[in-house]
Amino acid sequence: MSETYRTFFGMQREPFTADISLREILVTPTIKAITERIQYAIRLGAVALVTGEIGSGKSTALRHVIGNLHPSKYRVIYVTATSGSILELYRQVINEMGIDITSNSRALLTKTIKQEVLELSQGKKMKVVLVIDEASLLRLTVFAELHTLTQFENDSKPFLPLILAGQNNLVENLRFRDSLPLASRVVAKKHLQGVDREAMETYLDHHLNLAGVKISLFEEGAVTAVHQGAGGLFRKANHLARGSIIAAAKSEKTMVTAEHVRLAATELL
Ligand SMILES: Nc1ncnc2c1ncn2[C@@H]1O[C@H](COP(=O)(O)OP(=O)(O)OP(=O)(O)O)[C@@H](O)[C@H]1O
Ligand SMILES: [Mg+2]
């Protein structure tokens, strides 16, 4: 798509992108609620869940929370889950910890991870936090074993809080019998839903602002159309908003209308 729409609307950069910086994240009431819950789980050394629809802002919320944990006090181990075995997950964790070890032994890998957690928390007095994004992809066999990673001194020391984020089936998977040891350590959970129309308007203005546009370009009907078309979800809203801005610029209209949003929607799945 041509970039002339940016010039047309006087934008300093591409609007509605995924690569916003930490400071540019809109701190919504939901993000505040997630922050509180994650901090609570970290204090207790327990498990917190962040679930939500696709593109609702889970990873962004995690980024906000993690980005605001002071690096001198916290060591966050962030991994994006795969549908692989627990061995694969352990390797990801070890890799993220910067440890150079290759092994096929689950026992050795867990021992290595736990030693490092102990060294960080006892030796260096840091709070270690394991964050697993896309945790809804994890196999049930992984859920059945994952809690063992968080057990120190017969489960009396909460050295490794765990934050799991993923789609809604994460909760369903945790309700299986084999997942119960892990599920029983969950102390807080938050579900991200599509936002209401008012919050969507705030969201659209926020991203326009990031692109250097200080006025709203969306007519009331266009805001409603983006909100409805996206089901209140941010990623889809990004695509509808950007697409409709392009459509408006093409027809040399200074405001985006519901019709522009409808045109943008025809490009999306
Ligand atoms: N708080 C926010 N402030 C600004 N932009 C946001 C915010 N939350 C989400 N976004 C925008 O929405 C996009 C999608 O959000 P994100 O990737 O966090 O969703 P997700 O729920 O993790 O999606 P998936 O289910 O695919 O993992 C981001 O790339 C970003 O552009
Ligand atoms: Mg995500």
Cα–Cα distance, 221 to 77 (Å, whole number) = 44
* CA of 57 relative to ligand 2 center, distance in Å: 7
* CA of 26 relative to ligand 1 center, distance in Å: 10
- The CATH architecture to which 29-192 belongs is 3-Layer(aba) Sandwich (3.40)
Closest ligand to residue 30's CA: 1
Atom 23 in ligand 1: which residue has the minimum CA distance?
A: 55
Query: Shortest CA distance to 62 belongs to which of 122, 133, 110?
Result: 133
Ligand 1 neighbours by CB, cut-off 6 Å: 18, 20, 25-26, 28, 31, 52, 54-60, 234-235, 238
Residue 231, pLDDT score? 98
Cα–Cα distance, 25 to 62 (Å, whole number) = 11
Residues whose beta carbons lie less than 5 angstroms from ion ligand 2: 58-59
Cα–Cα distance, 244 to 121 (Å, whole number) = 50
Helices 197-210 and 220-230 pack at an angle, to 10 degrees, of: 100
* CA of 208 relative to ligand 1 center, distance in Å: 16
* CA of 214 relative to ligand 1 center, distance in Å: 22
Residue 150, pLDDT score? 92
Closest ligand to residue 51's CA: 1
Tens of each residue's pLDDT in the chain, 269 residues: 667 999 999 999 999 999 999 999 999 999 999 999 999 999 999 999 999 999 999 999 999 999 999 999 999 999 999 999 999 999 999 999 999 998 999 999 999 999 999 999 999 999 999 999 999 999 999 999 999 999 888 878 889 999 999 999 999 999 999 999 999 999 999 999 999 999 999 999 999 999 999 999 999 999 999 999 999 999 999 999 999 999 999 999 999 999 999 999 999 99
Residue 2, pLDDT score? 67
How many CA within 13 A on the CB side of residue 241?
Answer: 28
What is the phi/psi pair of residue 55, to 5°?
A: 75, 20
Range(s) of the chain covered by CATH 3.40.50.300 = 29-192
Kindly tell me the number of DSSP H helices and DSSP E strands found in the chain.
12, 5
Determine if residue 252 is left, alpha or beta; phi over 0 gives left, psi from -120 to 50 gives alpha, anything else beta. Answer: left
Atom 31 in ligand 1: which residue has the minimum CA distance?
A: 18
Contact (Cβ atoms closer than 8 angstroms) between residue 51 and residue 192: yes
* CA of 122 relative to ligand 2 center, distance in Å: 32
Range(s) of the chain covered by CATH 1.10.8.60 = 4-12+195-265
The CATH class for the domain spanning 4-12+195-265 reads mainly alpha
